[in-house]
A and B are shown apart, each in its own frame.
Chain A
Amino acid sequence: MKKVLVLFLLIAIGYYLVDVFSVIPFGADRIPEGNVRDFYLEKTVTDLNVPNTVTSIVVNFRGFDTLGEVTVLFLAASVLGSILYRRRSHDEEKAVLLPSSKIVASGSRLLFAPILLLGAYVFIHGHLTPGGGFQGGVIIATGFLLMLLAYKDYKVKHSIIMWVESLAGVTFAGIGLVGLIMGKMFLENFLPLGETMNNLFSGGVIPIIYIAVGFKVGSELTGLLYTLLNEKGE
């Protein structure tokens, strides 16, 4: 009975969604001249000298939004810690993971450093290539996840994670405040933009902010995975 009702509901929702989107042509230039897209695309080249428009929107034009986003991630990590917190009692220590084979263990150890390197590459080149702080941070966290899955007693120090996270967050907010001190807007660019486009040292504050975001997201996700994996079964 419930399934039939749900199916009717889904058919109704699906009908109206299809009805709405059949009117919107796919891939047509629907918006008139002088729109936000053209503004961003033009200002990215002329004002910021950065190739990647998505990065310049996320970090520069909508930098305040990204600061909020990073805060939401931090909030999720701390909520997870506080919900799952309980006093350690050693009688219920039981491993969630089975011991992994030798191939998995040595393979993970071999892959760990290249994965971290790839993550660092992705967030350092966030303003030049498709990628950025969030993506790079997630890649770094996958490296740690591999180690956590392969080695049962792999420990990630909470104090180190906390320090990296806090320093990265302070860097992000501090760059915004330095912009205020220099007489610009909050999170506005105050560094030289660099001579040539597509150079690693160009784009003003964008690479610095993205490196901070990369460290922050990477450490936060690592701490999150560590908390969830260390949840002992009962």
Chain B
Amino acid sequence: MDITTHTLLTIGFYGSSISLILIGLYAALVKKSLLKIIIGMSIVDSGINLLLVSLGYLNGGTAPIFSPTVQDTLTKTAKAVDPVPQALVLTAIVIGFAVTAVALSLIIRLYRHHKTVSIDEIKNLKW
């Protein structure tokens, strides 16, 4: 792998995940609609997951799935990417999904009560 591809990969993975985090934070902080705030939180989630998975990457590494044709599994072991962040991100995705679902149900409940999802018009949220 030459140096330019590597730099591109670095900028691509780190840059895109950091910008996803920032875009999500912007949406969550600036937008008035509760639904858009939830979407922003989900985008932050995706950015963090991408960041964690890309931290486990290894140059020239393969997926951590062995095949029976590979006889010397240990030499292949040395070249597989880190499976631990992938397993953790699998957990994080499910938890993020659960959080989003509960937040959406709370929004539905708020909408029933106030007939709006705008945080400007829901006076109880003002402080």
Contacts and interface: CB of A to CB of B under 8 A. Distances in A.
A37 B86 CA distance: 11
Contact of B66 (A3, A7, A76, A197): A197
B58 interface: yes
B25 interface: yes
A58 B88 CA distance: 8
Contacts of A54: 64-65, 83, 86-87, 90
Contact of A10 (B22, B80, B93): B22
A53 interface: yes
B91 A69 contact: yes
Contact of B102 (A58, A69, A79): A79
Q: Size range of the interface on B?
A: 35 or more
A87 interface: no
Give chain B's interface secondary structure class. Answer: helix
**Interface on chain A toward B: helix, strand, loop, or mixed SS?**
helix
A3 B64 CA distance: 44
Interface residues of A, number: 57
B110 to A, nearest CB: 10
5 contacts: A6-B26, A41-B77, A53-B66, A72-B94, A234-B112
Interface of B: 6, 9-10, 13-14, 18-19, 21-22, 25-26, 29-30, 54-55, 57-59, 61, 63-68, 73-74, 77-78, 80, 82-84, 86-87, 90-91, 93-95, 97-99, 101-102, 104-106, 108-109, 112, 115
Given A26-B13, A27-B59, A80-B102, A2 B30 contact: yes
